[in-house]
Amino acid sequence: MKKYKIFEGNNLQEDMDRCLEEGYFPITDLKKAWDMKQKLSPHKWIDTGVVFQEGVIRKLTMEEAKDLKKLYENKGRLLFTGYSDDCGLGGDGSLSLSGRFLGVRNKVKRSGKQ
């Protein structure tokens, strides 16, 4: 199975749901996300599993991933890598935008143990 997979073509929650259902979680390592964006699609963005909320940058929780609407209602935003080299990180307030998550294969085994 692939270690990384792109989930795109729907809105943020739908792409997040597909990512989770297939055993992946959005990448939370911003440096790795940037490097993979440059390799896979340098002129596109990649949504991450990193949240900006009230001045704090942190990793997305599984609970939040399953209900992005609640996260966004609480002023949390998923960060995405920029569209080009001169565009860094960004966040948007709309869940209806197209998603493009870089999913990382979840290391949890079927038994639920890591």
Per-residue pLDDT reduced to its tens digit, 46-78 = 889 999 999 999 999 999 999 999 999 999 999
Euclidean distance between the first and final Cα of the chain, in Å?
17
Give strand pairing partners of 63. Answer: none
Rounded Cα gap, residues 26 and 49, in angstroms: 5
Percentage of residues in the chain having pLDDT higher than 70: 83
Segments in the chain below pLDDT 70 = 1, 83-90, 93-94, 108-114
pTM, to two decimals: 0.82
Q: Where are the alpha helices (DSSP H) in the chain?
A: 12-21, 30-40, 62-66, 68-73
Reading the block at residue 19, the tokens are 């990512």
Q: Give me the domains of the chain, ranges plus CATH numbers.
A: 4-105 (3.10.100.10)
Instruction: Tell me the C-alpha distance between 114 and 92, whole Å.
Output: 33
